[in-house]
């Protein structure tokens, strides 16, 4: 092998490694980061929880359960509505992404607080 062939040989060995490195980076970036809130239902009835983004469906959360709701947003705050199944009363809160919404029994209807 001559000295001229060495750079070509090195290129043939290094090029596949560079392509493997590129494909690994592409696999990690699968889409926008998902934000989330946690909802804990401490009330005595099922509550339907809906993010006020006009495109999310209400999610029923059974009494005594806790669920994580994931969504994509460009904001750090979201408005959330909780509506009881028993009387269809509701409460609204504005909360930070990543916080926990607690739905509980108020005096005559459900109430909401953020933790």
Same domain, 21 and 70: no
Q: Is 37 a residue whose pLDDT tops 90?
A: yes
Q: How large a percentage of the chain has pLDDT more than 90?
A: 49
pLDDT band at 72 (very low <50, low <70, confident <90, very high): confident
- What pLDDT score was predicted for residue 46? 94
pLDDT value at residue 57: 82
What residue numbers bound the domain in which 78 lies? 35-114
* CATH number for 59: 2.60.40
Assign 33 a pLDDT band (cuts: 50, 70, 90): confident
Which segments of 1-115 are extended strands (E)?
35-41, 47-51, 59-61, 66-71, 77-84, 90-96, 100-105, 110-114
**Domain tally for the chain?**
2
Residues 4 and 40 reside in one and the same domain: no
Are 13 and 55 within one domain? no
Predicted pLDDT of residue 115: 94
């Amino acid at each position: 092998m001559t000295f001229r062939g060495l750079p070509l040989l090195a290129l043939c060995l290094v090029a596949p490694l560079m392509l493997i490195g590129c494909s690994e980076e592409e696999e990690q970036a699968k889409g926008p980061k998902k934000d989330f809130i946690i909802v804990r239902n401490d009330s005595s009835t099922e509550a339907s929880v809906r993010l006020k983004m006009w495109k999310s469906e209400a999610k029923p959360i059974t009494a005594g359960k806790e669920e994580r709701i994931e969504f994509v947003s460009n904001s750090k705050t979201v408005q959330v509505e909780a509506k009881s199944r028993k009387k269809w009363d509701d409460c609204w809160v504005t909360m930070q992404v990543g916080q926990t919404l607690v739905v509980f029994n108020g005096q005559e209807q459900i109430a909401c607080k953020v933790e």
